[in-house]
Amino acid sequence: MVGDDLDVIASGPGVPDSGTFQDCMALFKKYNILRQLPRSIVNFIEAGLSGKVPETPKTGDPVFEKTHNLIIGSNIEAIVAAKQKAESLGYNTLVLSSMFEGETRDLAQFYGAIAREIAKTGHPPPACILSGEYL
């Protein structure tokens, strides 16, 4: 899920983890990378699947009873601040989205196509294209 989920941003170790060993194995299979991974990683995930290794703490675990998290800056807030600064410097700005997600290589191709379009057509001159990603 894109956004400010604490278990996927920098606060990760201080919040319940929604991911499971089953989720990991499903990703390995989805992307057909199981045979490319180091055997130690596969062994660890398999041990977790069989209950020999405990899952990471989940919602309701007492370890989080005294933990309080507060997001003081989000992806969209950073993009808005960058947009304001770029405009103050005379750039024409375009905010694409604060919620892109996907493979980095695919997003890089997308950004590259935008940059090539700007270089070729000069639209919008001078250009500042902003986006945020959830990877």
Q: pLDDT tens-digit profile of 7-66? A: 667 656 788 888 899 999 999 999 999 999 999 999 999 999 999 999 999 989 999 999
Question: Tokens standing for 10?
Answer: 């920098």
Amino acid identity of residue 12, one-letter, is G
Q: Which residues contact 70 (CB under 8 A, 6 or more apart)?
A: none
Write the burial class of residue 77 (CB in 10 Å: 0-12 exposed, 13-18 middle, 19+ buried).
middle
Q: pLDDT tens-digit profile of 54-104? A: 999 998 999 999 988 887 878 888 899 999 999 999 988 888 888 887 788
- How many Å apart are CA 5 and CA 10, to the nearest integer? 10
Residue 79: which of 132, 135, 10 has the closest Cα? 132
- How many Å apart are CA 30 and CA 26, to the nearest integer? 6
**pTM listed for this prediction:** 0.57
